[in-house]
Structure 1
Amino acid sequence: MAVKHLEIERKYDAEADFTVPELMGLPGVSSISGPRTHQLAATYFDTDDLRLARRGITLRRRRGGEDAGWHLKIPAGPDSKNELRAPLGRTQVVPARLASLIAAHTRGAPVKPVAQLDTVRSVVLLLDAAGQVLAEVADDAVSGRPEGGAELAWREIEVELAGGGGDLLEAAGERIVKAGARKGASSSKVLRVLGVAPERRPEPDGKTAGAAVTGYLADQVDAVLRFDPKARLAEHDAVHQMRVATRRLRSALQSYRAVIDREHTDPLRVELKWLADALGEVRDLEVLRMRFTDRLEEIGETGEHTWLDALRTQEAAAYRRLNVTLKEPRYFALLDALDALVAAPPLTERAGRKAAKELPLLVTKQWKRLDRAYKEIGKADDPDIARHETRKSAKRARYAADLAVPVLGKPAKQVSRNAKKVQEVLGGYQDGVIADEHLKAAAEKADDTHEAFVLGVLYGLEQCEAKSTLATLEETWKGLSKPSF
């Protein structure tokens, strides 16, 4: 089992004769423990083309110190990384759990040693008045070498937060810099040894329609990759966010076909739907489980319920199936295709037009589709099917507007807000219908009178809420304004 830890730290380069300054008097620091010295030896793993390093991800097996074992570090924001750990295990064999968490980047390519680092570390702990650790300050003498390369040596000061806050991190950094150190040349020791830096995608200027669309697509691809390991770990809301990014990609390829050539992207939309469906199986069960748990609390039923346990079992099984899907060559091929799409988008002639003129036309087109879909509800033989289609049109209009917000500003935001209102009303109704179907099926299997009664109560609550939500649709629609570009 991999153990997760959020690492928040800053690194500073120092000369050989640098003296770590006095650290008492920093925010919240009442005492200092140490120093303690450790001998650390770490082997870093990556693909031949250093895919992990270029994404700012590090995977190592380290001996020595108080946290010997395998460490996987994934960027989580400025100065922070999610660190997952596993026992030392076998020398050359990456623990299966950690290997799965980098699969979206390695995509079947072998992972092997790429660098060796040896560090003499002197550590002091900054403590508060109660003796709790606020931060760890490490003075590292490092020597490292890439596989088959020359050795590089340097000195580094590292400040890592434990229970302290950002003010302590800032103050410690200021004091260390004032003493003669400087901001670290690299955010990672192994990146320094390998001579690479994390890839930074240039910000699109947004002046042309093609640049605006490509920038949005790149953001969504980044989101898929960012939430992939979180979804594998079943972190809260991760599957939902990964599914949203997948749907946004698919929607953009449809709504902006005038800019991105559909002949090249229609096959990609098929694969994105496949991925969204796989994520959707988990997400739908997750939503039902959370929904029913809240409902039971509302009516004071906090005990055990066989049917809810069965739902949890179904959700766990769906997560296992998702993890299998995320190991498939088909998924890796989709990620390769998305990378290629962003790197060399198949732009049409209209992509070269000014974004400020082209995007309003395409956003308005999606709004008109929503308008037509809404009007069909009153004419449809099956209003529920028409409502479902209207909800899908609302999502497309919303996502199309979201893409245009960086270029068009407030008018696009207003379209997005309006579409979201329709989506939420119809989504609330649809969620109630799905919940009722599940409750009805559970009631048919119930062999306990109390359980059957509880299911009946929940069924009634869901029906009332669904009807109440649907009753607001017409009023909601009347309150919306047309796009004003």
Structure 2
Amino acid sequence: MGRPAANFSSKINVQLDPSQNARQALAIILLQLLTTLKVNLDGTCADLDSEFLHDFRVAVRRTRSALSQLKGILPAAELAPFREDFSWLGTITGPTRDLDVYLLKFDAYRRRLPPHQHKDLDPFQFFLRQRQKKEHQTLAAELSGPRFTGLLTRWQLLLEGQLHSDAALPDAKRTAKEVADQRIWKLYKSCLKEGAAITAESPAEALHELRKTCKKLRYLLEFFQSLYTSKSMATLVKALKGLQDNLGDFQDYQVQGEAMLSFGMEMAEDKQAPPATLLAMGTLAGSLLHQQQQTREEFDYRFQSFCQKKNRQLFQKLFGTTGRMKEVAQ
């Protein structure tokens, strides 16, 4: 487990020209993400390694984020069916990936329990493996079907056409850096506003919404990183990642804790687990949900670290001037 596709990195690595128009830049970014999908397709369908599906899903999420955050650059009417298709891809790949994660973390789950309960989780591990095989078979059939193969062909044709056609939309004619400055600045301000509004009494949903906003910002920073100095971008991504890790852990502990309880109920109903296994799963769920609360208590520190003066000044220096000018013009 954990091996990437041979000789291929799923990291965004496009060299953009600051003076090229936004339409060409976006098409280049989306074509690289399409390449990532294709490179990881066979490994995903064959279930060779969980990393193939992981990288496949990241490419899908990045594509959806680009279509959402970079509107007004490619023709909306032409993109509409693709938005629906990429949403469908996110949905059908989710169950298998979730089960992959549970299996990857299973040794860590055992360590959360007293030694005498470790073997009690064996029936649960068997349950997860069987469920993962079933979900993967369903996924592989979908990825071999006409909807997905047609999507790949149509998407590539559209993007390659955008590389060479005239930019018709106003934002499409602007330079890539102008658009990047404005969109990144806008998302950065949203992160600050959403995070500052979170208090000890805020519901979990507030942290989940901030997590999604941070992820959108991270993707934009990655898409356009070649337009800025590598040292500055590395500093900002590192600062953002510290906050993202906290918010991601908070979400994961909640989802996994609740999943343990749900799986336990299902296994009990189907008589697939002895009482000792159900007891161990309940203990594990409690441990995960307790860890979620501890993670919640670390949020203020992580957010203040992200908001510190040197980071604010760097965001301002790189993106603030163009971003504010665009806001005034609107």
TM-score by length of 2: 0.78
Equivalent runs, 1:82-481 vs 2, <5 Å? 205=17, 207-208=19-20, 209-236=22-49, 237-297=51-111, 299=113, 300=115, 301-302=118-119, 305-345=122-162, 347=167, 348-378=169-199, 383-410=203-230, 411-444=232-265, 445-446=267-268, 448-480=274-306, 481=311
Instruction: Kindly indicate whether the alpha-carbon contact (under 8 Å) linking 2:110 and 2:121 is maintained by their aligned counterparts in 1.
Output: no
Larger Rg: 1
Shift of 1:331: 0.9
Instruction: Kindly indicate whether the alpha-carbon contact (under 8 Å) linking 1:255 and 1:366 is maintained by their aligned counterparts in 2.
Output: no
Task: State the AA in 2 paired with 1:246.
Answer: V
Residues in 2 aligned to 1:307 and 1:373: alpha-carbon distance in whole angstroms: 39
Shift of 1:222: 0.4
Structure of higher RCO (CA pairs closer than 8 Å, 6+ residues apart)? 2
Residues in 2 aligned to 1:215 and 1:305: alpha-carbon distance in whole angstroms: 47
**Same amino acid, percent of matched pairs:** 21
Residues in 1 aligned to 2:63 and 2:38: alpha-carbon distance in whole angstroms: 13
More helix by share: 2
Query: Unaligned 5+ residue runs, structure 1?
Result: 1-74, 79-201
The Cα offsets for residues 405-448 of structure 1, whole Å up to 9 and x where unpaired, read as 01123444444333333332121111111111122234444563
Shift of 1:303: 6.6
Query: Unaligned 5+ residue runs, structure 2?
Result: 9-13, 319-330
Shift of 1:77: 3.7
Shift of 1:205: 4.0
TM-score by length of 1: 0.54
Residues in 1 aligned to 2:193 and 2:72: alpha-carbon distance in whole angstroms: 21
Q: CA RMSD in A?
A: 2.7
Residues in 2 aligned to 1:419 and 1:262: alpha-carbon distance in whole angstroms: 30
Instruction: Kindly indicate whether the alpha-carbon contact (under 8 Å) linking 1:395 and 1:420 is maintained by their aligned counterparts in 2.
Output: no
Shift of 1:76: 4.4
Greater mean deviation of Cα atoms: 298-307 or 354-363: 298-307
Q: 1:308 to 1:371 in 2, by over 3 A?
A: same
Q: 1:419 to 1:383 in 2, by over 3 A?
A: same
More strand by share: 1
